[in-house]
Structure 1
Amino acid sequence: MNRCGIFVAVILAIVTKSCLSDEHTHVYQDEEEVVLWMNTVGPYSNRQETYEYYSLPFCAGPKSSISHYHETLGEALQGTELEFSGLDIDFKTNIVSTKYCQITLSEEKLFALTYAVKNHYWYQMYLDDLPIWGIVGEVKDGEYYIWTHKKLEIGYNGQQIVDVNLTSDSKVKLLKDTVISFSYEVVWKPSEIKFTDRFDKYLDPSFFQHRIHWFSIFNSFMMVIFLVGLVSMILLRTLRKDYARYSKDDELDEMEKDLGDEYGWKQVHGDVFRAPAYPLLFSSMIGSGYQLIVVALCVILFAMLGDLYQERGSLLGTGIFVYAATSPVNGYFGGSLYSRLGGKQWIKQMVISAALLPLNVCVMVFFINFIAIYYHASRAIPFGTMVAIACICLFVILPLTLVGTVLGRNISGQANYPCRVNAVPRPIPEKKWFMEPAVITLMGGVLPFGSIFIEMYFIFTSFWAYKIYYVYGFMLLVFLIMVVVTVCVTIVCTYFLLNAEDYRWQWTSFCSAGSISMYIYMYAFYYYFFKTKMFGLFQTTFYFGYMALFSCALGVMTGTVGYVGTGIFVHTIYSTVKID
């Protein structure tokens, strides 16, 4: 194993806290116990509206000698509720059809099961970390039936489990006072599937590697080439003319300059590096954006190298770990920018920068969690998990952000502008309506959104439907394309703004690039109403709440990218012009 693989393995070990049991080593001896875990149950159309399996009047098997599985942080946040099925299953030991429990349908139990069948409830189980899905029942001729028999066909290769299939059988009509017996059957079969390939059956290459996916990548790539070439040609040609005109102006005496028609981006050289409005908030947003960019790249790379989709909650757990570990990035870039802008309240800036994203996430999660508790859903985050997250914020993120802020202020906190800043701000002349910062902001996110909206469909479908996203190479390529498109568009918008003698480019570049979040959230509305069959208060709140967080986070990332790229452009053009 190379160094990169070893590093990924260490990261995953820290995040998932894997314990040394057979279920995690995945190696069994003949007749050794194999645990079947019951996870959650919920309506098929609402993937996130899940409840404990035994919230429905199902009954467990007679075996109760095994302790409850200890969940990781990522599993707890995702609503995983593993409970022992009570079924006796041994490695390579076939079990004929065996009844393990029975229930009598009281009026309350009848109502619960009827409601579940009517709303197409599915349940999920795990065996050796392999997910298994089954349907509660079916509706036929206006009558409601429940499946009472579970047949598990388990494939093994050597001493490892490589495949599990569930067949539901024995349909029983739901009527009051009916006695329903539940049974199970286990059949072990040798398999040629390699252990490293056992998750391939859950992937959907025909969906994620469809020709339209490749075409969208190619289309976005061609857009990048065209846009970069167009921007380079226009700006180089225009700036060459500007340089020639300004060089000619420099040869004129003061009286001739006063009689001349002065206009263009050179005229705002004394204000272009003026600190933007609300510098504390601005620097905090930029610091958070830098951190999110690093987190996104790291998680995508870990997912590409470590197949994080194979471990429950590992992707979310890795994201939390990487976010906490990269807190110095936030402090460094946010603190250094605030110092260069002349800010004095650096402790306040550090606290706001560290708390900006976690606080917004916690507020939204608290609101959704309140509804989840009301619904008794498994998505309700336990109190202990909330305490753990709070401790991470207070004792990991905040101190590391402080370290980064101190380093940033001392290493790169000195302003190095090519032009002096005038003591009195220059009046901003009137301009055409389409050159106003508000209009530029709205239009700036159109092309970046156009470069990624096809990929958004695949990402949305993997999260809100029953798909496992695994093409992280596509995601990385689309992310890089989005960065290039965002920088190009923002530079053009900023050049037009400065040419109109409006020096308020910092917030404008950030907001125009970040306006992609608005278009993504609008697309989320379209996806909800036309691509899904979601229903109910909980699922709707969950969907739009987390989509708001996703859109805002992506907006902060792209806003930071736009500001950084534009900052380099602005610094470059004013450095190459002789200004008296």
Structure 2
Amino acid sequence: MEKSTACLVSAIVILCFCFINHVKSDSLDHRYKEGDFVPFYANKVGPFHNPSETYRYFDLPFCAPDNVEEKKEDLGEVLNGDRLVVAPYKMDFLINKKPESICGKKLTRNEVAQFRHAVLKDYFYQMYYDDLPIWGFLGRFENDDKDDTNEATVYLFRHVHFEILYNKDNIIDVFIRNDPNAVVDLTEDREVDVDFTYSVRWTQTDIPFEKRLEKYSQTSSLSHHLEIHWFSIINSCVTVLLLTGFLAMILMRVLKNDFVKFTPDEEALDDQEESGWKYIHGDVFRYPRYKSLFAAAIGIGSQLFTLVIFIFMLALVGVFYPYNRGALFTALVVIYALTSGIAGYSSASFYYMIEGKNWVKILVLSGSLFSGPLFLTFCFLNTVAVAYNSTAALPFGTIVVIFLIWTLVTSPLLVLGGIAGKNSRSEFQAPCRTNKYPRHIPQLPWYRKTPAQMAMAGFLPFSAIYIELYYIFSSVWGHQIYTIYSILFIIFIILLIVTAFVNVALTYFQLAAEDHDWWGRSFLCGGSTGLFIYGYCMFFYNARSDMSGFMQTSFFFGYMACICYGFFLMLGTVGFRASLIFVRHIYHSIKCE
């Protein structure tokens, strides 16, 4: 069993490092001579505050060529909503340009309405020049009453000025500046003549090519941001040390007394009536009722835990540098597919360990417990995106590719892992014999029941990470850049430690109350942090963001529900594994008859 797991993990590591080399390679050497063509692509447009609601660049009535040339994109770029096309600007290396016309056109009343709506909704556009990201806004509007945009005066920028920094034969940086005087008034609903122009100026700089992307990560590394991040870690550590320290002292003291009480001399043993957690030693290792569902949840949780670890490995070695288009999404798809064997192996081996019989059922559950809800959510959100004609809608070809990955990689590895887990035939190591008939669980007060225990179990881990959650959400659902992955990894380790320790403490108190049904509750309590994170999603959406509209709301709450569900499965597995180790240890330490 150990050899099979080691081989599988080794294969994943090798494939991941091959993936790292693939991501970091580039077909261009980014070196140019004067007058050389430089790749320039327009990407997408959309409301600034709605990151998921994006549209193709030429969906707005810009000056478009007769044949729009599209750039071939990889899987991650498509999943990210990128739809790159050749931009309508010609900016060869080191060629300055005075204001030059792109095209002159008469905007129809419908086109004026399109641009006016885009300006009022704070539409921005994104481009890439020599793989450097560029952003710009379409225009500006002025109104006395900020709540009434119907009375606003709307202006469309018709001139774009590009400032390009270069160092010898490399392009270092690109800026866009809009001339506030070169605007077109779109307030009235009438046809408008407009001449779209642009200009280019090249400026030499001493910044080396290797550091040209550093400015995008500097916001995360500014002193006041670093202070907040380190305060988050210190806050988490102090909270963890204090609370878990108190719990540890109480738990150790109680356990010590229990061991003294439960291991008396031979003469006094017969006269003492058993009580507390030793009293239920014949039921504590009774298998859960829903074996297949429980084992499948353990398998998926193990897979997601492995997925997160590999994502952190790639992040810490520098794969996810700023604006490495689609690298994170590609990594998620590839690693999830490759780690499906871990889900199959973990679920099947655990299922047979607790005397399960139907291995086909466990593989079906393992393959659908997480991917099923994710697939249904994707179908709904993709339909919404298609209705909005957004770039967030995946093309049919991309859907076919993902289906083939699931069919040819994910499913076979899941089955192979399941077969390996089934054949491992390891026995469940229980230090006590299980009674034929279960003992009656006494009536417990409300604070010892599952909902209250889940609330207590989820609050402490959540309190250790909630400060860092704001920066993560602002990066994923905003325009901030998060690059301090080392701090995030420390927070993740703290999250795992707190989750494990809190579950151990709650499991002990549950057993001390003579409630032997701890298997499922330890999983639910461990995963309850995911529910707290989803609660924070609602707070972030309403109080910390300006997102609006049905599509953005659907994408935010839909995909965050899937992410929080994944955390629920992963942390639930961590909580159960920690509780299982603890329960085995304490029952090994006493004499069970």
Asked if TM exceeds 0.5, the reply is: yes
Aligned residues of 1:153 and 1:165 also touching (Cα < 8 A): yes
In the alignment, is residue 263 of structure 1 matched against residue 267 of structure 2?
A: no
1:19-73 alpha-carbon deviations (Å, 9 max, x no partner):
62x3xx32323322112211111111212111111111111368x6x95211111
In the alignment, is residue 89 of structure 1 matched against residue 70 of structure 2?
A: no
Q: Given the alignment, which residue of 485, 489, 495 partners 1:472?
A: 485
- 1 CA distance for matches of 2:35 and 2:266? 91
Aligned residues: percent identity?
37
Change (3 A) 1:182 1:195: same
Aligned residues of 1:227 and 1:485 also touching (Cα < 8 A): no
1:49-108 alpha-carbon deviations (Å, 9 max, x no partner):
11111111111368x6x9521111111111111111132221122222110112212111
Task: Identify the residue that residue 369 of structure 2 maps to in structure 1.
Answer: 356
1:481-529 alpha-carbon deviations (Å, 9 max, x no partner):
0000111110010001111111111111110111111111111111111
Q: Given the alignment, which residue of 380, 387, 390 partners 1:377?
A: 390
Question: Secondary structure of the equivalent of 1:309?
Answer: coil
TM-score normalised according to structure 1 size:
0.93
Task: Identify the residue that residue 12 of structure 1 maps to in structure 2.
Answer: 20
Q: Given the alignment, which residue of 149, 168, 171 partners 2:183?
A: 171
- 2 CA distance for matches of 1:437 and 1:501? 15
> Residue 319 of structure 1 aligns to which amino acid in structure 2?
L
Task: Identify the residue that residue 124 of structure 2 maps to in structure 1.
Answer: 122
Aligned residues of 1:268 and 1:501 also touching (Cα < 8 A): yes
Q: Given the alignment, which residue of 44, 54, 62 partners 1:58?
A: 62
Change (3 A) 1:305 1:523: same
- 2 CA distance for matches of 1:209 and 1:19? 32
- 2 CA distance for matches of 1:197 and 1:8? 25
> Residue 40 of structure 1 aligns to which amino acid in structure 2?
K
After TM superposition, give the deviation of residue 225 of structure 1 in Å: 2.4
- 2 CA distance for matches of 1:158 and 1:425? 79
> Residue 206 of structure 2 aligns to which amino acid in structure 1?
E
> 1:144-155, aligned counterparts within 5 Å?
144-155=154-165
- 1 CA distance for matches of 2:16 and 2:269? 65
> 1:255-294, aligned counterparts within 5 Å?
256-257=271-272, 260=273, 262-294=274-306
In the alignment, is residue 299 of structure 1 matched against residue 311 of structure 2?
A: yes
In the alignment, is residue 551 of structure 1 matched against residue 564 of structure 2?
A: yes
Aligned residues of 1:61 and 1:100 also touching (Cα < 8 A): no
- 2 CA distance for matches of 1:171 and 1:500? 74
Q: Given the alignment, which residue of 538, 563, 567 partners 1:525?
A: 538
Q: Given the alignment, which residue of 227, 230, 239 partners 1:223?
A: 239
Aligned residues of 1:328 and 1:403 also touching (Cα < 8 A): yes
Question: Secondary structure of the equivalent of 2:370?
Answer: helix
Change (3 A) 1:44 1:250: farther
- 1 CA distance for matches of 2:15 and 2:393? 33
> 1:29-108, aligned counterparts within 5 Å?
29-60=33-64, 67-108=69-110
Question: Secondary structure of the equivalent of 1:306?
Answer: coil
Change (3 A) 1:365 1:124: same
1:529-580 alpha-carbon deviations (Å, 9 max, x no partner):
1111111100111111111111111111111111111110011111111111
Question: Secondary structure of the equivalent of 1:430?
Answer: coil
Question: Secondary structure of the equivalent of 1:209?
Answer: helix
> Residue 301 of structure 2 aligns to which amino acid in structure 1?
G
TM-score normalised according to structure 2 size:
0.91
In the alignment, is residue 567 of structure 1 matched against residue 580 of structure 2?
A: yes
1:137-171 alpha-carbon deviations (Å, 9 max, x no partner):
11135321101111111112232221111112221
After TM superposition, give the deviation of residue 351 of structure 1 in Å: 2.3
In the alignment, is residue 194 of structure 1 matched against residue 208 of structure 2?
A: yes
What RMSD, in angstroms, separates the aligned Cα atoms of the two structures? 2.1
After TM superposition, give the deviation of residue 7 of structure 1 in Å: 8.0
> Residue 269 of structure 1 aligns to which amino acid in structure 2?
H
Question: Secondary structure of the equivalent of 2:161?
Answer: strand
1:201-226 alpha-carbon deviations (Å, 9 max, x no partner):
22313388342221110111122323
- 2 CA distance for matches of 1:30 and 1:60? 27
- 2 CA distance for matches of 1:126 and 1:557? 37
| Number of residue pairs matched by the alignment | 567
1:207-251 alpha-carbon deviations (Å, 9 max, x no partner):
883422211101111223234433332222111111111112864
Tell me, which stretches of 5 or more residues in structure 2 are unaligned?
A: 1-12, 144-151
Question: Secondary structure of the equivalent of 2:385?
Answer: helix
> 1:371-410, aligned counterparts within 5 Å?
371-410=384-423
- 2 CA distance for matches of 1:397 and 1:316? 16
Tell me, which stretches of 5 or more residues in structure 1 are unaligned?
A: none
After TM superposition, give the deviation of residue 283 of structure 1 in Å: 0.9
